[in-house]
Amino acid sequence: MNELQSASEVTLILASASPRRQELIRLLGLPVVIRPSDTDESTPPEWTPPQVVERLSLRKAEAVAETLPPAAGEGRRIVVGSDTVVALNGEIMGKPKDLSDAVAMLRRLSGRTHEVFTGVTCLEPDCGRSATSHRVTRVRMKELSSDQIRRYAETGEPMDKAGAYGIQGIGSLLVEGIEGCYFNVVGLPVSLVADMLEPFGLRFP
């Protein structure tokens, strides 16, 4: 593979339907095709948060890569898979099942520091090259009253978010501070993605 190939000849294929990830990956300045993955996201209970996000990001990237038609000389294609989880004291908190579940999650997070893990896989199906890594960010929540939690939960924003909050939306009002990459909490650590793509021959400003 020619390591000096122009980045303009590379298309990133994002294995996610998340509007937030779609917005963030475009910061890299490359053409992007959206192909949400349809894969099993169940994991063994003994897996650690880093294992979960790395394995699921790889699973998503591989599932999308398998659906791609053979390359037809239109340039290189790199599939990017990603997965994010919230963990409190090492225990993974998924998306809330309903309003009461969202309220319960927010009560647990109130006044405490939790961690957000995002796994990323970059996979070039036409040559078999792949790389998988993850990033972690520590997030401290404010002390929240029952009324604040209820009012936020009733906005509906927590319902499709790991840990029942979205730092890029109204949930930003609940956060006291973060240590690490903000974009990692949103769902895609773009600086990590850029670093991972360098061995693929891509260079970013």
Q: Which domains does the chain have, with CATH numbers?
A: 7-200 (3.90.950.10)
Q: Tens digits of per-residue pLDDT, 111-134?
A: 999 999 999 999 999 899 999 999
Q: Helix, strand or coil for residue 160?
A: helix
Active site residues: 83
Threshold 0.85, pTM exceeds: yes
Alpha-carbon dihedral angle through residues 84, 37, 67, 130, given to the nearest 10 degrees: 0
What would the mean pLDDT of 165-170 be, rounded to a whole number? Answer: 94
- 186-197: pLDDT as tens digits: 999 999 999 999
At 4, list the tokens. Answer: 């000096």
Region 11-22: mean pLDDT is 94
**Of 203, 195, 193, nearest to 80 (Cα)?**
193
Query: Tens digit of pLDDT for each residue in 23-82?
Result: 999 999 999 999 999 888 889 999 999 999 999 999 999 999 999 988 776 789 999 999
pLDDT of residue 89: 94
